[in-house]
Copies of this chain bind each other. A is one copy, B any other.
């Protein structure tokens, strides 16, 4: 799992978790899976998972409690809902579509196409 959509893994995981939170799949007050579980689930290293969680923590969507876990914050508390979520969905959609185009382009062109634009 995790890419190769050109979007870095830690952002993909953050996106996914954010979507689960805002989609209600992860209800407020419930804990996320542990770092180790997420790492296995996404087939990623612990580091990228920690980075992803760090982003959500930074955004205020979750609150980490040492020794216990990372808990989803109340949606009312975090001002993330609304048109912002809409824009986020749109951006994510564009990311996926663009990634596909980029991939097609990458496979149809050879490496090392000398473009010496300067």
A residues lining the B interface (CB < 8 Å): 6, 55, 58-59, 79-80, 82-84, 86-88, 90-91, 94-95, 97-98, 101-102, 104-105, 107-110, 113, 115-118
- Shortest CB-to-CB span from A65 to chain B, Å, is 16
- Shortest CB-to-CB span from A52 to chain B, Å, is 12
Pick the contact of A118 from B88, B94, B102, B108 — CB < 8 Å? B108
- Shortest CB-to-CB span from A98 to chain B, Å, is 6
Report whether A102 and B108 are in contact in the complex, using a CB–CB cutoff of 8 Å.
no
Give the docked Cα–Cα distance between A77 and B33 (Å). 36
- Shortest CB-to-CB span from A116 to chain B, Å, is 6
Give the docked Cα–Cα distance between A79 and B80 (Å). 12
